[in-house]
Amino acid sequence: MHTIGGFCGVSKALPLPHTVETECALSLNIKANGMNAVFGQRLHCVAAEPHATFIRIVVSDAGHEVAFESAVLGRLRRGYRVLQLRSTLGTRIELACLFVHISLGSELNIWATPRQLQRQHRRLLERIESQERLTATAALLERLTAAQVADLLESIESRCGAAAGCNTGTE
């Protein structure tokens, strides 16, 4: 099953995982009675804009597409439906159909808005810059000798000099 258009995803379970797929496969081999095969599995198709989302159901044999059907997700009605399958050329195949049960519902939107993503991105960039500054400072301090550290502390103390409350931590 493929979903095309808008924000959409297909999954075998709800809620959708964080890595949204637009394609989901049921890989079942029917050994006998291929004319009346029963799959008995559920697929969930979630779309933010169902009237602008196409669903494409494909039947393949040994990795080769043999039949398909496409429909607008928002136009499918509830209940049991028969989807007439088509050949790869788009012509309907006689006696080739897929019997499906369609149920509609709503799912809570757990995805972040673009503004939330931008805010989170900005915070992460600030955090990375802060960590890079700390790493650079640590590398600089490692290179300093004991005499250079003493000179540095002395210059800091001389700058503070008369300032009230200046504490260098050397007391």
Residue with tokens 């697929």: 43
Clarify whether residues 137 and 87 are in a common domain: no
Quote the pLDDT of residue 62.
75
pLDDT at 18 over 80: no
The verdict on residue 170 lying in a domain is no
Average pLDDT, integer, range 134-148: 82
pLDDT at 170 over 60: no
Read off the CATH number of the domain in which 10 is found.
Answer: 2.60.40.150
64-77, pLDDT tens digit by residue? Answer: 888 899 888 888 88
pLDDT at 16 over 60: yes
**Residue 144's domain spans which residues?**
114-160
The verdict on residue 21 lying in a domain is yes
Clarify whether residues 86 and 132 are in a common domain: no
Q: Which of 93, 75, 80, 83 is nearest to 57 (CA)?
A: 83
Clarify whether residues 118 and 98 are in a common domain: no
Clarify whether residues 31 and 61 are in a common domain: yes
DSSP string, the chain: -EEESSSEEEESSSSPPSS--SB--------S-GGG-------EEEESSGGG-EEEEEEEETTEEEEEEEEEGGGPPSEEEEEEEE-TTSPEEEEEEEEEEE--------SPPHHHHHHHHHHHHHHHHHHHHHHHHHHHHHH--HHHHHHHHHHHHHHHTT-TT---S--
Number of folded domains that form the chain = 2
Mean pLDDT value across the chain: 78
The verdict on residue 85 lying in a domain is yes
Return the number of other C-beta atoms located less than 10 Å from residue 73's C-beta.
22
75-111, pLDDT tens digit by residue? Answer: 888 899 888 999 989 899 998 888 888 887 776 666 6
Clarify whether residues 127 and 154 are in a common domain: yes
Residue with tokens 């008995």: 40
Give every CB contact of residue 145 below 8 A, 6+ residues apart in sequence.
none
